[in-house]
C-alpha cells in the first residue's frame, strides 16, 4: 500500500531560523508549546546505531525534521512540562533492563524482555508525520515493528475489544512523577488506549528507534507507541504494560481535560481544541501555522474505514 504524498507538505510553510533565534522575545506570554529550544537544550549524547530496513510503501516521501529538533523539543511530562525538560533531564531513565507485561483478556499472557522483542520482530524504518494536539508537527523516521505482530503472540480472547498501555511508574527515574513536582498535573502513570482494530492496524507501530539509532530517552526509550493518524499524545512512551480489556480505557489526557482530549484523538481539522484551531499547524522548526492540517493526518485512505458511520465530532 502506498501512502500518498500529503498535500500539506507542499504548502507554503516558512522556515526562517532568524525567527526562532529570538523566540523568547517573540513568544513572550505565548503558550509553552510555541517555544523551540533548539540549541539551548543540553542534549544527551546520541544513542547507538540501530539497523532497520526502510519500508518505502509506508513512508512519506518527505525530508525528516532535523534530529536535533526531534530530540530537544519534546513532550514527556514525566520530566517536566517545558519542551526542553526531557532532553535535559531524561538521563535518569534507565532503559535496561526493561520488560513489558502483556496480559488481560488473552490466552497466553507473557512478560517480554526488551531484547527478546528486538530479536523476535524484524525492524522496519518508516517515515511518518507526527501531529501534536498543540498544532505543531514533525516528520520522523521511526524504527520499529507493527504492534499487531506483538499482540498476536499472546492470542487475544474473543471478548477483548480494547488495548490499554501504561508507562513505567517510578518517581526515582521520572522526577515529574514526584509529589509536588512543579507544573506536573497528570495522574501517574501515563495511560493510553486504542480500540482493538486500531491497535491491529498495520500503520500502528511499536518503536524502539529513530533516525537510524536506538530511541533516545527523551523520545520514550526503550519502546513507545506511534499511531500516525492520531494526535501525538496517543503515542505513549516508555511502556511497561499492555492489557486487553472489554471496557474502553480512560487515557491520562482524557482524565485531565475531557472537553479537549477524547479517547479517539484522530487528527481532524474540523474539530477544534477549546482554546485553538486544529485547521492549521506549524511544521517545526517553523513557528508559522501555515500548513493545513489533514483529516487523519493525511492517512485517510488507510484508516477512514475504521470509523465508517461514526460521528467524528462527537467521538473526538
Task: State the Cα–Cα distance between residues 152 and 166, nearest whole angstrom.
Answer: 19
Report in angstroms how near the CB of residue 132 gets to ligand MTE at its nearest: 4
Report in angstroms how near the CB of residue 190 gets to ligand MTE at its nearest: 4
Give the nearer residue to ligand MTE in terms of CB position, either 3 or 284.
284
Give the nearer residue to ligand MTE in terms of CB position, either 154 or 265.
265
Count Cα neighbours of 210 within 13 Å in the Cβ-side half-sphere. 33
The residues facing 205 across adjacent strands are 146, 226
* C-alpha cell recorded at residue 264: 479517539
Which positions from 249 through 308 interact with ligand MTE, judged by CB under 6 A? none
Which positions from 185 through 244 interact with ligand MTE, judged by CB under 6 A? 190, 219, 232-233, 235-238
* C-alpha cell recorded at residue 168: 513505567
Three-class secondary structure of residue 78 per DSSP: helix
Count Cα neighbours of 279 within 13 Å in the Cβ-side half-sphere. 2
Query: Contact with ligand MTE (CB under 6 A): which of 9, 78, 93, 188?
Result: 78
Report in angstroms how near the CB of residue 42 gets to ligand MTE at its nearest: 16
Give the nearer residue to ligand MTE in terms of CB position, either 151 or 227.
227
Report in angstroms how near the CB of residue 262 gets to ligand MTE at its nearest: 14
Give the nearer residue to ligand MTE in terms of CB position, either 235 or 262.
235
Size of the site for ligand MTE (CB under 6 A): 16
- Size (the chain), residues: 316
* C-alpha cell recorded at residue 215: 530511541
Q: Is 141 in the site for ligand MTE (CB under 6 A)?
A: no
* C-alpha cell recorded at residue 247: 471496557
Neighbour order of strands in the sheet with 110-113: 110-113, 99-104, 239-245, 162-167, 191-195
Which positions from 120 through 139 interact with ligand MTE, judged by CB under 6 A? 130, 132
Query: Contact with ligand MTE (CB under 6 A): which of 59, 72, 75, 297?
Result: 75
Count Cα neighbours of 14 within 13 Å in the Cβ-side half-sphere. 8
Report in angstroms how near the CB of residue 107 gets to ligand MTE at its nearest: 28
Which positions from 148 through 177 interact with ligand MTE, judged by CB under 6 A? 167
* C-alpha cell recorded at residue 248: 474502553
Report in angstroms how near the CB of residue 227 gets to ligand MTE at its nearest: 10
Which position's Cβ is nearest ligand MTE? Answer: 232
Instruction: Pinpoint the alpha helices (H) of the chain.
Output: 17-21, 23-26, 67-70, 85-89, 114-120, 147-153, 196-200, 252-256, 300-303
Give the nearer residue to ligand MTE in terms of CB position, either 23 or 224.
224
CB 49 within 8 A of CB 213: yes
Query: Contact with ligand MTE (CB under 6 A): which of 72, 74, 173, 278?
Result: 74
The dihedral over CA atoms of 5, 286, 85, 140, expressed in degrees to the nearest 10, equals 20
Give the C-alpha distances (Å, rounded to integers) separating 142 from 223, 251, 307. Answer: 11, 23, 26
CB atoms within 10 A of CB 185: 11
Strand-pair category, 280-283 with 291-292: antiparallel
Report in angstroms how near the CB of residue 308 gets to ligand MTE at its nearest: 27
Q: Is 77 in the site for ligand MTE (CB under 6 A)?
A: yes
Report in angstroms how near the CB of residue 300 gets to ligand MTE at its nearest: 21
Query: Contact with ligand MTE (CB under 6 A): which of 76, 128, 145, 244?
Result: 76
Q: Contact positions toward ligand MTE, by CB under 6 A? A: 74-78, 130, 132, 167, 190, 219, 232-233, 235-238
Amino acid at each position: 500500500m502506498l501512502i500518498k504524498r500529503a498535500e500539506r507538505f507542499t504548502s507554503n510553510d516558512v522556515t526562517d531560523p532568524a525567527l526562532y533565534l529570538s523566540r523568547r522575545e517573540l513568544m513572550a506570554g505565548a503558550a509553552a508549546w510555541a517555544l523551540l529550544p533548539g540549541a539551548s537544550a543540553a542534549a544527551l549524547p546520541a544513542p547507538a546505531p540501530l539497523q532497520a530496513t526502510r519500508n518505502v510503501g509506508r513512508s512519506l516521501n518527505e525530508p525528516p525534521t532535523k534530529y536535533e529538533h526531534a530530540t530537544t523539543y519534546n513532550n514527556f511530562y514525566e520530566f517536566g512540562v517545558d519542551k526542553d525538560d526531557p532532553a535535559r533531564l531524561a538521563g535518569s531513565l534507565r532503559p535496561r533492563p526493561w520488560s513489558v507485561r502483556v496480559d488481560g483478556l488473552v490466552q497466553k499472557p507473557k512478560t517480554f524482555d526488551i531484547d527478546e522483542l528486538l530479536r523476535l520482530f524484524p525492524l522496519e524504518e518508516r517515515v511518518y508525520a507526527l501531529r501534536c494536539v498543540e498544532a505543531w508537527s514533525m516528520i520522523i523516521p521511526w524504527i520499529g515493528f507493527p504492534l499487531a505482530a506483538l499482540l498476536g503472540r499472546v492470542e487475544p480472547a474473543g471478548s477483548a475489544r480494547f488495548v490499554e498501555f501504561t508507562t513505567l511508574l517510578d518517581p526515582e527515574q521520572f522526577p515529574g512523577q514526584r509529589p509536588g513536582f512543579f507544573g506536573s498535573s497528570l495522574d501517574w502513570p501515563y495511560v493510553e488506549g486504542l480500540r482493538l482494530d486500531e491497535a491491529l492496524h498495520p500503520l500502528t507501530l511499536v518503536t524502539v528507534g529513530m533516525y537510524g539509532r536506538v530511541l533516545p530517552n527523551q523520545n520514550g526509550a526503550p519502546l513507545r507507541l506511534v499511531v500516525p493518524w492520531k494526535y501525538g499524545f496517543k503515542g505513549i512512551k516508555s511502556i511497561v504494560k499492555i492489557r486487553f480489556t472489554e471496557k474502553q480505557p480512560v487515557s491520562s489526557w482524557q482524565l485531565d481535560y475531557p472537553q479537549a482530549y477524547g479517547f479517539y484523538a484522530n487528527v481532524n481539522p474540523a474539530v477544534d481544541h477549546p482554546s485553538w484551531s486544529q485547521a492549521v499547524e506549524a511544521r517545526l522548526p517553523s513557528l508559522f501555522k501555515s500548513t493545513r492540517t489533514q483529516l487523519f493526518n493525511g492517512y485517510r485512505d488507510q484508516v477512514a474505514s475504521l470509523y465508517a458511520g461514526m460521528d467524528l465530532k462527537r467521538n473526538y
